[in-house]
Chain A
């Protein structure tokens, strides 16, 4: 999944008005981010890629780009 695909998915699924800059920002600084978004994002990524996402580790991540890196590495 490319970075663009990922940000597209995040916008599409969560309907958050995210810019590319928001990828690297800490969640505390991302518009309207809450933990439920993470849960929905995991489901969406798994549906899209068919791969299991390591949720337990993901929860420790503090930014979308960290999540993206982890998903790409999986």
Chain B
């Protein structure tokens, strides 16, 4: 190996007279100074800034830097850093996916360890329980397939029938391997669809054969997509939209000479989708979209131009804003809470939402409207407080670089979507990063905006009630408790993945894990449904427990932040204890594992009659001997289908 001179002397110096270094220069400076490990927390905001500015080349270069970082050193220096292990296998040369994968994960604060398998070893890796894909610490197993996965098996010359048969055979093979893999391995398996290129179809000169080949190819892709529907542990990244968005399928020379059958830009796009998937699987889904108003929702500045001169329809630019409003409405219809943070006076802004003929979004579409002259980071904190959600579940979209910078600087946990002065690009920018991606939508998701609106009515009742007791008595809280059925699995899993505040042990469960527990006679999975005079809240909580001889061990209890402080948690525990006693348990054990978010429930178990037993590794443990049972609060009506219930 060649001796190299001092790395510090080899860095690109920052451009002279630059007032502020670009994020890449800042990143290189951290590396040159030997501070990248200790100051790893600064990496994510720098990467976010590169992406927000659309500087994909710099992002790729940042990935090169980060793949060389000593991950163990980061873990040792900053033990709280979130980490992930991704194992990669595939049919073609995949080395160039490493840098973007590392950068994409780092951008979301996740330190990646990637394990790249041997070239073209995907069949062996999927099949062999000893392969790196099967290692117990792997979070995501990426099996990257490409057009040659099919083409290499056809021989030449080939006819449409050959492609039809190859596609069917390959789909059957991948289906069987994927199913077996999910049985054996713990990692989520990620496959991808394979875009069809003209260099394939046009090898057939008659149109009838060409059409048959196209159909067979697409049926192969459709079969893969269906595979993901059938197996919760399998995910398929559809590459067609990335190719349609302009990423070339491959670079013909690299495909020919280096067996790199998927192009760098496409692999970079793939890496971005994989990071979104990883974030989603960890329940880090954003729940709230906060938008600016002037030049974000409509063309113009309300305060300067007046209500009559702003537009979200009828003009060319106005139409583009109308399209953006329709996208926001679409996102809102799927359970994402919408809010406005705008530097305007409140009344005129609300008047626009009530009366302006162009508006797609109306006042009632927003869970909060903060139109005032306070800094936007303060407004976001205020909205978070009012909705009882963390700002880390927020996405903020604004056309002002200043406001975006202020929020990014003041609240780095917020995902900032920086819009600009071209409204036709707003839609793409908001959708670029899958911030709101979720595995499956539940009934509660679809109804969420309405649920938050009834919250305002509850708040009115609270204001008019003389005391908390009076308020609760007037609220008419109903709690329904029962074992979770198959229809509750998605919602219960979602609660376990997304709930941060009332989550006593942060045991996170994917839908498949919930199903497994639900079907295990030694396990108990309870769904907590609530409602009151203002309407039903649906499934708002869950309890996971298991039998250990004559003890019932509570693995976790979760309650949505929407329904705190109404006696629902106490009611749930009362019913659970009654059930434990009636089914022969002599004690119930429970625990509390602290996180950054669940401090407020530290005292929950003692408050419902549990005695502390021991504390190890920061976890607090409790025991209830079922002698003195907590009562269902008088303002709550409990309906329980559990054995041992008195209601």
Interface residues of A (CB under 8 A from B): 8, 11-15, 17-19, 21-22, 25, 29-32, 34-36, 38-40, 42-43, 55-56, 59
Contact = CB atoms under 8 A, between A and B. Distances in A.
Nearest to B98: A36
Given A36-B95, A39-B254, A55-B254, A19 B4 contact: yes
A1 to B, nearest CB: 17
Contacts of B258: 35-36, 38-39, 59
A2 B96 CA distance: 27
B65 interface: yes
B5 interface: yes
Interface of B: 1-2, 4-5, 7, 10, 12, 61, 64-65, 68, 93, 95-96, 251, 253-254, 256-258, 260, 264
Contacts of B64: 13-15
Contacts of A31: 1-2, 4
Given A29-B1, A55-B257, A15 B96 contact: no
A11 B11 CA distance: 8
Contacts of B257: 55-56, 59
Given A13-B61, A19-B4, A32-B68, 14 more contacts: A14-B64, A15-B64, A15-B65, A17-B4, A18-B10, A19-B10, A22-B2, A31-B4, A35-B95, A36-B95, A39-B254, A39-B258, A39-B260, A55-B253
A17 B65 CA distance: 11
Closest 9 CB pairs of A and B: A36-B95, A15-B64, A55-B253, A17-B7, A19-B5, A19-B4, A17-B4, A25-B2, A15-B65
* Centre residue among A8, A32, A40 by max chain B CB count within 10 A: A40
Contacts of A35: 93, 95, 258
Nearest to B66: A15
A64 to B, nearest CB: 11
A34 B95 contact: yes
Given A11-B10, A40-B96, A18 B253 contact: no
Contacts of A55: 253-254, 257
A29 B7 contact: no
A32 B68 CA distance: 10
Contacts of B95: 34-36
A30 B10 contact: no
A56 B253 contact: yes
A15 B61 contact: yes
A37 B53 CA distance: 26
B93 A36 contact: yes
A8 B12 contact: yes
A57 B237 CA distance: 35
* Centre residue among A15, A31, A42, A56 by max chain B CB count within 10 A: A15
A40 B96 CA distance: 8
A19 B2 contact: yes
16 contacts: A8-B12, A11-B10, A13-B61, A13-B64, A14-B64, A17-B7, A18-B4, A18-B10, A19-B2, A21-B2, A22-B2, A30-B2, A31-B2, A34-B95, A42-B254, A55-B253
A34 B68 CA distance: 14
Nearest to A56: B257
A36 B61 contact: no
Contacts of B96: 36, 39-40
Contacts of A14: 64
* Centre residue among A30, A55, A59 by max chain B CB count within 10 A: A55
A42 B263 CA distance: 13
A15 B257 CA distance: 23
A42 B68 CA distance: 21
Contact of A15 (B68, B253, B254): B68
A31 B12 CA distance: 18
A29 B3 CA distance: 9
A40 B264 contact: yes
Contacts of B256: 56
B431 to A, nearest CB: 27
Contacts of A59: 257-258
Contacts of B1: 29, 31
A58 to B, nearest CB: 9
Nearest to A34: B95
A25 B260 CA distance: 26
A15 B69 CA distance: 12
A53 to B, nearest CB: 9
Nearest to B252: A55
Contacts of B7: 17
A22 B61 contact: no
A10 B96 CA distance: 16
A31 B4 CA distance: 8
A50 B291 CA distance: 41
A12 B260 contact: no
Contacts of A36: 93, 95-96, 258
A22 to B, nearest CB: 5
